[in-house]
Chains A and B, each alone.
Chain A
Amino acid sequence: MSDSATIVFEDVSRFYGEVLGVNRVNLTIPPGITSLVGPNGSGKTTLMNMMTGLVRPSRGTISVRGIAPDDPQALFRIMGYCTQFDSFPRGYTGIQFVTAALLMQGLPAAEAEAKAWKAIEKVNLVEAAKRKVAGYSKGMRQRIRLAQSIAHDPQVLVLDEPLNGLDPLVRSETIALFREQADRGAHVIVSSHVLHEVDMISDQVILLANGYVVAEGEIRGVRAEISDRPHQIVIRCDQPSRMASKLFEHDHVVEVRIHPDRQGLLVKTTDASHFHKLLNKLALDGIYIDTIAPADDDVNSLYEYLIGDEGGN
């Protein structure tokens, strides 16, 4: 794909003094909805801030549809960024807040206000638009910031945890809004710390952990990559040998070892979600299961955390 239609990270690292923000990131992001997923502190915000020029990379270069992030005058004609900072300039009402951003685009006042109303309509805040933002609820503040970032119809929309604090109804409306933006050819980059919140809507997913990109691609590819690896699970129960024989009846269980104290067993499976369903059945059959814990190394347990049970649904 040509340079002017993608967002490219080339060997990008960022350190905050001694602390690692992100390290050696190489990404090429095509238009569509892209989700950055990772636990807190994994570097999602850092990536987004670098993409928008709010912080600069310690190493490497970034290009957003051919524009460097340190050229705000060109960049923000095509970009909107809804940050995770839940703060506002003092004393603004909702409509003033959105209009202000459009005035900075260089629009005449009347046109700016008309566009602002349109954006506010999109996030369903028309009734509250004339009230002071300081008196909004968390969800309303989230939405007015969203309205501000989409008001100038950006080609690249960057949204840091945009679904936080929204109720289910508003959440699905918001997701529909993302889809709409993506369908007109825009980049929509969304971050989240729960994969199943965004996997249904994303065209592609980037998994982050501890400042590294650990997986990227279309959601199916990422999931396959994860489930192809055998998962190790430790189970403490009262009848380990009976359990072991029952487990071996299934294909996805590749290895079972009984713990020397005969109080538990170690299982290797290629399909974690099936396995968990199986355990439910066994428990109903009368085997008393005390604990179930993943026994994998860090990256694998991270997948476990990210994908969870719902990965298989």
Chain B
Amino acid sequence: MAVYKRSYTSYSGALTPPRTRFLVLPRYSYERLFKSRFLVGFLVACLFFPLGCIGYIYLVNNLTIFQSMGIPTPGFLKIDGKFFLVFMNFQGALAYVLTALIGPNLIAPDLANNALPTYFSRPFSRTEYVIGKISVLFILLSIITWVPGMLLFGVQASQAGWDWSVANWYILRGILLGHITWILLLSLISVAMSAWVKWKVVAGALILGIFGIGAGLAQIINSILRTDYGSMIDISRIMYTIWSDQFGIETSTGLEAFEAWIGFAAVCIVCLLMLERKIRPKEIVR
């Protein structure tokens, strides 16, 4: 009898449903990531500021001292778009740091150890692989960005009442849109960078450096060509413009909101193209 006939039986257990199969990657990534005490500590620390904000909202809404003195609550204590923008900026910066910590570990080790053929010899497509890897970061970043943001808005809405919510619903839209675009961009950039270079340290440096180099290039394009459109490759300017636009604040970035969106889309497309080139089951040497 042939050996395989005696010993080989195909897998007959339960399969992960195809639609949610990409979540297998985050599941295993988190298992490994959460072993690092530093990372868990950092994640928890990221939630301190939102907690403080909730406390502040509660306090401001329940300040009876001014009413008791018969004067209206002073303007600088108001909870408004500015307040939420500060929150967004702070958490957005933390998201950036977290990306730099986790991002390089996403694809670079798989490439360095030739693990891609192993992935793709399973019922697992390239798209699922990329979505899976992106969702590792996306989910984690969500927890420290727009999720607490929504919570903050909810607390403020419940404290300040229906009228406030109706008048300020743009804040909710701003938080959601602003933060989701930001973390989408961060996840895409770090996945693309870590797919492009095999060495983790270099990938990490690139994830950080792409912002600095982009800004530098934007500067020289603007100064040599005497234009403002160079800023379209300055990622932090793009995001700043988009956020400010959502909150109705005028900026001096030299960019229009729609130009910023074009820049955003361009960065995303470049990242996707890079992934398309690099995520292949095998490499051919000529």
Binding site for B on A (CB under 8 A): 132, 134-135
Contacts and interface: CB of A to CB of B under 8 A. Distances in A.
B44 interface: no
B3 interface: no
Could you tell me the dominant secondary structure of chain B's interface residues?
A: loop
A135 B285 CA distance: 6
Nearest to A135: B285
A135 B283 CA distance: 11
Interface in B262-286: 285-286
A132 B285 CA distance: 8
Contacts of B285: 132, 134-135
Contacts of A134: 285
Contacts of A132: 285-286
A135 B286 CA distance: 7
Contacts of B286: 132, 135
Interface in B1-57: none
A272 B286 CA distance: 53
A122 B286 CA distance: 25
Nearest to A91: B285
Interface of B: 285-286
5 contacts: A132-B285, A132-B286, A134-B285, A135-B285, A135-B286
* 5 shortest interchain CB distances as A-B pairs: A134-B285, A135-B285, A132-B285, A132-B286, A135-B286
Nearest to B283: A134
A132 B286 CA distance: 7
Contacts of A135: 285-286
Nearest to A136: B285
A114 to B, nearest CB: 28
B134 to A, nearest CB: 31
B257 to A, nearest CB: 46
A132 B284 CA distance: 12
B85 to A, nearest CB: 49
A134 B283 CA distance: 11
A22 to B, nearest CB: 29
B112 to A, nearest CB: 13
B233 to A, nearest CB: 31
A21 B286 CA distance: 39
Nearest to B284: A135
A307 B109 CA distance: 40
A191 B262 CA distance: 62
A135 B284 CA distance: 8
A177 to B, nearest CB: 28
B114 to A, nearest CB: 13
B243 to A, nearest CB: 44
Nearest to A133: B285
A244 B286 CA distance: 66
A134 B286 CA distance: 8
B35 to A, nearest CB: 23
B196 to A, nearest CB: 17
A293 to B, nearest CB: 25
B186 to A, nearest CB: 32
B215 to A, nearest CB: 32
A92 to B, nearest CB: 12
A98 to B, nearest CB: 19
